[in-house]
Amino acid sequence: MSEFLVYNAIFGDGHFERIALGNMLNKGGAAGKIYACPMYPDMVAKIFHDRSKSKTNRQKLEAMIQNKPNIPIREENGKKYVQIAWPEAVLEDDEGFCTGYLMPLINTDEAVSLDHLMQKAVRQKEHLSEKYTDRLTAALNVTGMVMALHQCGHHIVDLKPANVSVYKDNMFVAIYDCDGFSINGQSARYPAEFVSEEYIYPEGMHENPEDMGEEQDKFALAVIIFKLLNNGIHPFSGTLRNKEDEKTDIQTRIEQYHYAYGMWPDKYQAPHPYSMHEYFDKSTLDMFERAFSKNGKRPTAKEWFQHLNYLGTILQPCKKDKNHVYFTNKGCGLCAVEQKFKLKLSDVAKEKQEQQKVRGFGISNLTSEKTRTFKQMKQQALNRLNKLAVLLCAVHLGLWTILPIYVAKFKDVVSSRGYFLQLLVGVLILKAVFVFLNKMQTFLPLLQNAALLYMLKLYAVFNAVVCFFVVNGIGWTLLR
């Protein structure tokens, strides 16, 4: 065994042991590598990449060992399931540098990322349960873990489904890389270093991870629960109401509070077409409203834990599908979404069966001769539209040219109405003309020339001013 793989282990009760590490199990994350520990087969060692942070790492690990959350190893059918890889001992080298720590071994072969539980296609690929109650159980277990950490004053900060694993058999959850949490020590807080977009609370957009705390966890936890209950749909994703609006990323929508599933419709986006939030219990919708609306008091992990337990007591089995359940007398939201999805697939299939067309012509009918005929017809139609546009321009210019002469005949009547009324009528007429020209622009290709359209509008304004001067004799007065 190489010398650098032998370390001194300092356990929570204060005793020391000489620990020889085994093979490297994986390269781990950004912080360090993971090694087997032959002396303690149910434990592994995490060895940090950077030894320069020895003092800070030691203080943080010691604070973690002294303030351990109540998240016990769970047992079921004679098997043990580790839920959290919390440090058990600090590892140091012979020079006294803190090099890493020992933690419980989590059997990754029996667990998958919580992400895999969100969508049906992924669940089927991973051979995961289709029971909706299992997703509710997973949400409850994640919430229980967050609640236990918060009771000790710790904050996960980088809380997201990819950082949480779920055991396939029973929906127990497991979490790693706890040294990256924000840790509450006796004399200081040891901050987190990372946070992930799409789970950052709106007020924290311009904060550093080390400044984040329980509010960040409360927001990220609510997002995870929403996704687990709503088939993986993010609470800040949806369908743009106006296709001309700029499409923004999820984190920007979070920052701007574009929550699409609340009591009041969001102006920017509508709910995802396959969302089943309308079938949630009203108390659940109220909880999400608090979590995602501006100025809302976000539910704590304890409140979510109590609420998810409550949901478990009101669930009703679906008569159509044994894997489905529903919350209210509205019926089964899962069935409603699946029916909507089937109808969509049916519509797509019908479209494929219909003869494909290009500008109204069946593809099978588009011989070279017919294609030429089609082009000639299209050119003839374009010529007619251009002639109509030229006629419109001529009429427009002619009318505005003779308008000052015509108005001069009624000079006394019009001038007696006063400047204000004249200007008001003139503005309304110009507004109507501009609206008419803009509408014609969509039908007449020639008017899509911006310079031409601008010239027509400018000519109308010029002659309207001339009319005003003529009626009120302003020009003659100035010349005198």
Task: Please give the share of the chain, as a percent, with pLDDT higher than 70.
Answer: 91
Instruction: Summarize the confidence of residues 67-85 as an average pLDDT.
Output: 95
Q: Tell whether the model's pLDDT for residue 478 goes beyond 60.
A: no
Mean pLDDT lowest among 84-93, 152-161, 256-265, 385-394: 385-394
Q: Tell whether the model's pLDDT for residue 291 goes beyond 70.
A: yes
One-letter amino acid at 39 equals M
E-assigned strands of 43-194?
43-48, 74-76, 79-81, 89-92, 98-104, 111-113, 164-167, 173-175, 183-184, 189-190
Q: Tell whether the model's pLDDT for residue 350 goes beyond 70.
A: no
Residue 158 corresponds to which tokens in the numbers above? 């980088």
Highest mean pLDDT among 117-121, 352-356, 448-452, 475-479: 117-121
Instruction: Give the single-character DSSP code of 280.
Output: S
Give, in order, the Cα–Cα distances in Å from 374 to each of 166, 359, 363, 387, 411.
61, 10, 12, 20, 55
Which is more confidently placed, 353 or 46?
46
Predicted TM-score (pTM) of this structure: 0.72
Give the CA count within 13 Å in the CB-facing half-sphere of 459.
18
Summarised one tens digit per residue, pLDDT across range 11-70 is 988 899 999 999 999 876 678 899 999 999 999 999 998 888 899 999 999 999 999 999
Summarised one tens digit per residue, pLDDT across range 400-440 is 888 888 888 787 777 787 888 888 888 899 889 888 888 88
Mean pLDDT lowest among 43-47, 211-215, 376-380, 465-469: 376-380
What is the pLDDT, as a whole number, of residue 348? Answer: 60
Q: Tell whether the model's pLDDT for residue 480 goes beyond 80.
A: no
What is the Cα Rg of the chain in Å?
A: 35
**Nearest residue to 87 via CA among 99, 76, 74:** 99
What is the pLDDT, as a whole number, of residue 471? Answer: 79
One-letter amino acid at 214 equals E
pLDDT band at 1 (very low <50, low <70, confident <90, very high): very low
Q: Chain-wide mean pLDDT for the chain?
A: 89
Mean pLDDT lowest among 144-158, 348-362, 371-385: 348-362
Summarised one tens digit per residue, pLDDT across range 180-198 is 999 999 999 999 989 999 9
